Amino acid sequence: MSKPAHPTPRVRPRRGKSMAAKADRHELYELSVQAPETDAATLAKLYKKLRKRHAMSLREDFCGTAVLSLAWVQSKPGRTAVGIDLDQPTLDWGLAKRIEPAGPEVAQRIELHRANVLDGVGPKVDVTAALNFSYMVFQQRKDMLAYFQAARSMLVDDGVFILDLLGGWGSMGEETNRRRVKGFKYVWQQRSFDPLTHHFTCAIEFEFPDGSRIEDAFFYDWRLWTSPELRDLLYDAGFSKVHLMWERTDEDGEGNGKFYEPTEEVDNDESWWTFIVAEK
């Protein structure tokens, strides 16, 4: 029997109270892949560089648990955020476990909407972010164009739209990477890659020292878009300038979290991730 297109998370073995059965997949995800304070600081810096003013309002498309929205409003008094996601249980988790515990002054500066990012729900903002590659859920050119048009329409006149992007030959194939995090292993699985369409399926799993695991904790059915395709679509959607950023490296050739717009060709790498910044 073939695997369902969107498998649901499964704990193995099911018996007893294994470490996997007691774990919370959103908490594990947060510990493994999210760095909301760093991301909020990067968005603020990219905006300030272009617009010479502080961005105050953020729209977090595909917000999930909205921890980036939370970090954003905590990064400066008066900052506001609006988070958009289709999945109500995930929004509820973020609200109950992260946003409400931060206190009413912080919570009242965040709006969460269960909505499609295509629908243009919520107020216009200074910065819209679509991070962790979530926009790759749109696999047809017309759908990505519609998303970019919607994102543009929800920006103020000097608004900026920021996406992240991954690539490199290591991302175009089947691969499993394990990384030790606090008391468990984070497993990134690239399950399939079609070189003709760039259809790309991947999953996140978690493994525990008692041998238990959460399979398909998160599953993604994406198209791996390339940087020039996205740049062209952003221009087609009406953005006035598109900046393809690249990460600076330290003496050992490792990325140092600082991004710039190269004026010359950059070196290819087995795997990389970066930002694309589009001005309204």
Ligand X SMILES: C[S@@+](CC[C@H](N)C(=O)[O-])C[C@H]1O[C@@H](n2cnc3c(N)ncnc32)[C@H](O)[C@@H]1O
CA distance 23 to 206: 10
How near is the Cβ of 203 to ligand X at its closest, in Å?
A: 11
- φ, ψ dihedrals at 71, nearest 5°: -60, -35
Q: Tell me: does residue 225 bind ligand X (CB under 6 A).
A: no
Beta bridge partners of 204: 188, 218
Q: Does 181 bind ligand X (CB under 6 A)?
A: no
Check binding of 149 to ligand X (CB under 6 A): no
Q: Are 276 and 135 a contacting pair, CB within 8 Å? A: no
Q: Which range in 49-57, 84-92, 196-204, 252-260 contacts ligand X by CB under 6 A?
A: 84-92
Asked if 128 interacts with ligand X (CB under 6 A), we say no
Between CA 34 and CA 52 the distance in angstroms is: 28
**Applying CB under 6 A, which of residues 56, 110, 117, 165 lies at the interface with ligand X?**
117
Binding segment (CB under 6 A) for ligand X, from list 60-68, 177-185, 195-203, 270-278: 60-68
- CA max distance for the chain: 58
User: For residue 197, what is the DSSP state?
Assistant: T
Binding segment (CB under 6 A) for ligand X, from list 62-70, 171-179, 192-200, 249-257: 62-70
Instruction: Tell me the closest approach of the beta carbon of residue 15 to ligand X, in angstroms.
Output: 30
Q: How far apart are CA 64 and CA 36, in angstroms?
A: 12
24, 27, 87, 194: residue in contact with ligand X (rule CB under 6 A): 87
Among 57, 128, 134, 212, binds ligand X (CB under 6 A): 134
In terms of CB distance, is 28 or 212 closer to ligand X? 28
Is there binding between residue 63 and ligand X (CB under 6 A)? yes
How many other CB atoms are there within 10 angstroms of residue 16's CB atom? 8
Helix (H, G, I), strand (E, B) or coil at 274: strand
Judged by CB under 6 A, which of 47, 62, 148, 259 binds ligand X?
62
Decide: is 116 part of the binding site for ligand X (CB under 6 A): yes
Of 153, 163, 183, give the one whose Cα is nearest residue 28: 183
- Residue 71 near ligand X by CB under 6 A: no
Per-position b or e across 68-86, b if 16+ CB within 10 A of its CB:
bbbbbbbbeeebbbbbbbe
Contact status: 94 vs ligand X (CB under 6 A): no
- According to the binding rule CB under 6 A, does residue 86 interact with ligand X? yes
Q: Does 189 contact ligand X by CB under 6 A?
A: no
Angle at 275 between CA 204 and CA 97, to 5 degrees: 50
Tell me which residues touch ligand X (CB under 6 A).
34, 62-64, 84-87, 90, 116-117, 131-132, 134, 137
